[in-house]
Structure 1
């Protein structure tokens, strides 16, 4: 299955240990996200849709313009759309499935709350839990708070395999789609 994320890209980043590389995971930032549990596992945040990946990062802006793709913390870097793959049999629990919520004892409000203490607690519980087959969950999926049709996920046991990078612009189809879905003005 293909998954997407928006992250800084720099052609000068030679390998995954360098910021700006598509496979770089910013570990100092681990601990602030919805399903983070720093010191226990690292998380790859991804989207099942290209537009969802764009929307997750840029939804906070009311007007979208080319300059928002600049990433000034790394010389010459810009945000880009990175595509990754994971095996189709990757064990991802879908919290948009009512039965899955019942099975793990969660309410929808606990999934969407912005209270990181709550979401990180249930994420650690899921990380420690095993599936009916005795296998541990590789990650968790829920719906984007920006648009419910955008499934987003966090992978903690399976690192995605890098496939390709697309440069972002206001004309990129994922940007156009996300801007339209979120009703954002574009320049």
Structure 2
């Protein structure tokens, strides 16, 4: 199973803007494994907590509240559970054998330096792979996965409908604590009794 947090449009097809497996290839260039001239990168993870933590981490030093999960046009961040049973094996860059075989160093795989990570991803793409896994820089025990969208999407499907996220969602609460993000107290709405 793979997981991804994305800006959900309930009316969107799964591969269209607002869909769980949409890749905005035309807007990619600065991501860890982006090479939009060759492929669209679909970033997912094997852990739902990791998917949520990757999203929540952008709020370090800020307070996370309900508005943090709502976007323009009524979209809301949601957690997608993606069935990858038909995908086949991926290269595991957390496996020392794979690193040695490809002359890669662990520090090169996990660096924030895109001039290092993007060429690694392009090399793997040129091997004809559907994608690869590597460890999260937030927690090395969380396996992240980068898929080459044009090769992988046909083998993926949603396992269950996307799950809207909120500041009181258990995964959000746990992820915020792990990555050091403050949660706003939920506001109490006054209910008028007539």
Give the TM-score band, short-chain normalised.
0.7 to 0.9
Looking at secondary structure, tell me which structure has more helix per residue. 2
From 152, 166, 188, give the equivalent of 1:158: 152
Q: What's the offset of the Cα at 1:183?
A: 3.2
- Report the equivalent of 2:133: 141
Partners of 2:118 and 2:76 in 1: how far apart? Answer: 30
Q: 1:21 aligns with which of 2, 16, 19?
A: 19
Asked if structure 1 preserves the Cα contact closer than 8 Å seen for 2:4 and 2:20, the reply is no
**Alpha-carbon distance in structure 1 between the residues aligned to 2:175 and 2:100:** 31
Q: Which has the larger radius of gyration?
A: 2
Moved over 6 A (4+): none
What does 1:1-187 align with in structure 2 at a 5 Å threshold? 2-13=1-12, 15-16=13-14, 18-62=16-60, 63-72=63-72, 75-87=73-85, 90-129=88-127, 136-156=128-148, 157-159=151-153, 160-163=156-159, 164-187=161-184
C-alpha distance after superposition, 1:55-92 (max 9, x if no partner): 112202133222210122xx111111111111266221
Q: Deviations over 1:27-50 (max 9, x none)?
A: 222222111211212221101111
- The alignment's TM-score, normalised by the length of structure 1, stands at 0.86
TM-score of the superposition, structure 2-length normalised? 0.83
Q: Structure 1: which 5+ residue stretches go unaligned?
A: 130-135
Q: Is the 8 A contact 1:45 1:154 kept in 2?
A: yes
> Measured at CA, do residues 18 and 127 of structure 1 come closer, stay the same or move farther in structure 2, by a change above 3 Å?
closer
Preserved contact between residue 5 and residue 51 of structure 2 (Cα < 8 Å): yes
Contact 1:91 1:137 in 2 (8 A): no
Gapped regions of structure 2 (runs ≥ 5): 185-194
Label 1:16 to 1:88 Cα distance change in 2 as closer, same or farther (>3 A). Answer: closer
2:158 & 2:86 partners in 1: Cα distance? 15
